[in-house]
Chains A and B, each alone.
Chain A
Amino acid sequence: RKEVEQDPGPFNVPEGATVAFNCTYSNSASQSFFWYRQDCRKEPKLLMSVYSSGNEDGRFTAQLNRASQYISLLIRDSKLSDSATYLCVVTGGSGNTGKLIFGQGTTLQVKP
């Protein structure tokens, strides 16, 4: 079983749609959680950290369920520029080493 699992997609949605991505992780000792965005042939860029209380940044909302080891990302009012691969990322193992474990990524294509 992969340490971080995501549906690779692709998700093809029209502009203005709301889309949700899910992610599960296997290591209950993971302490920090993030969503990164990666454009084709580029480096990942931090989209947002994910907190147990849930957090929102503009059109983006992230949720964490530690009991289910489940993370979600909701994108409202999708823009063409949101087309990218979204990476679910968790810190690996016990102790705060900063080591990141990446999911395969979920590809989003927003169509006009």
Chain B
Amino acid sequence: GAVVSQHPSRVICKSGTSVKIECRSLDFQATTMFWYRQFPKQSLMLMATSNEGSKATYEQGVEKDKFLINHASLTLSTLTVTSAHPEDSSFYICSASKNSNQPQHFGDGTRLSIL
């Protein structure tokens, strides 16, 4: 079946650091990937839609200059949390599907802790 890999799985860093998270589709090409954030005891919230070869589409309230998304190839999207602060601590998850008619598969998630 389809596999999505996310790296790193856990990040602990100081306030002000920028953190890059990678999302890879391992056995299929994904023109679209999605980035979500989940705070404790809350549902996944879509942050942005990552489009291969073009700019990401951000959801309302998500700062595009804070959360930089690059989708340079059909198998890789990256999310960079710039100048991270403690309130950015969360579980970040990416997803992708072979096409929009197929269910999405999720990466393992990245647990980000900013001290």
- A46: chain B residues at CB < 8 Å are 103-105
Q: How far is B46's CA from A96's CA once the two chains are assembled, in angstroms? A: 16
State which residues 34-93 of A face B: CB under 8 Å. 34, 41-46, 49, 87, 92
Chain B interface, DSSP helix/strand/loop, else mixed: strand
- B111 contacts which of A41, A49, A105 (Cβ < 8 Å)? A41
Chain A interface, DSSP helix/strand/loop, else mixed: loop
Question: Which size class do B's interface residues fall under?
Answer: 20 to 34
B49 interface hit (Cβ, 8 Å): yes
A104 interface hit (Cβ, 8 Å): yes
Cross-chain contact B101 with A42 (CB below 8 angstroms): no
Cross-chain contact B46 with A42 (CB below 8 angstroms): no
Question: Which size class do A's interface residues fall under?
Answer: 20 to 34
Q: How far is B36's CA from A87's CA once the two chains are assembled, in angstroms? A: 14
Cross-chain contact A43 with B103 (CB below 8 angstroms): no
B54 interface hit (Cβ, 8 Å): no
A102 interface hit (Cβ, 8 Å): yes
Residues of A within 8 A of B (CB): 4, 32, 34, 41-46, 49, 87, 92, 96-105
